[in-house]
Amino acid sequence: GAVVSQHPSWVICKSGTSVKIECRSLDFQATTMFWYRQFPKQSLMLMATSNEGSKATYEQGVEKDKFLINHASLTLSTLTVTSAHPEDSSFYICSAPLNEQYFGPGTRLTVT
Amino acid sequence: QKEVEQNSGPLSVPEGAIASLNCTYSDRGSQSFFWYRQYSGKSPELIMSIYSNGDKEDGRFTAQLNKASQYVSLLIRDSQPSDSATYLCAGGGAFSGGYNKLIFGAGTRLAVHP
B74: helix, coil or strand? strand
Radius of gyration of chain A (CA): 13
Q: Using one digit for the tens of pLDDT, what is the confidence trace for A83-106?
A: 999 999 999 999 999 888 899 999
C-alpha dist (Å) from residue B99 to A16, A21, A97, A99, B25 = 34, 22, 7, 10, 19
Angle at B103 between CA B18 and CA A105, to 5 degrees: 80
Cβ–Cβ gap B101/A49 under 8 Å: yes
Q: Using one digit for the tens of pLDDT, what is the confidence trace for A29-65?
A: 999 999 999 999 888 999 999 999 899 999 999 999 9
Nearest CA to A55 out of A43, A67, A44 is that of A67
Distance between A43 CA and the closest CA of chain B, angstroms: 4
What's the rounded Cα separation, in Å, for the pair A94 and B5? 23
Cα–chain center distance at A38: 11
pLDDT level of residue B96 (50, 70, 90 thresholds): confident
pLDDT at B94 over 90: no
| pLDDT at res. B18 | 98
DSSP A69: E
Does the beta carbon of A65 lie under 8 angstroms from any beta carbon of chain B? Answer: no
Which residues contact residue A89 at a Cβ distance below 8 angstroms, ignoring those fewer than 6 apart? A109, A110, A111
Cβ–Cβ gap A43/B102 under 8 Å: no
Cβ–Cβ gap B96/A49 under 8 Å: yes
| pLDDT at res. A41 | 86
Spell out which residues of chain A touch residue B43, defining contact as CB-CB under 8 Å.
93, 103-106
What's the rounded Cα separation, in Å, for the pair A37 and A24? 17
Does the beta carbon of A51 lie under 8 angstroms from any beta carbon of chain B? Answer: yes
Q: Using one digit for the tens of pLDDT, what is the confidence trace for B42-66?
A: 999 999 999 999 999 999 999 999 9
Q: Is A20 exposed, middle or buried (0-12, 13-18, 19+ CB in 10 A)?
A: middle
The larger pLDDT score, comparing residue B105 to residue B94, is at B105
Spell out which residues of chain A touch residue B101, defining contact as CB-CB under 8 Å.
34, 46, 49
Q: Using one digit for the tens of pLDDT, what is the confidence trace for A79-88?
A: 999 999 999 9
What's the rounded Cα separation, in Å, for the pair B48 and B37? 9
A18: helix, coil or strand? coil
Cβ–Cβ gap A44/B104 under 8 Å: yes
| pLDDT at res. B29 | 87
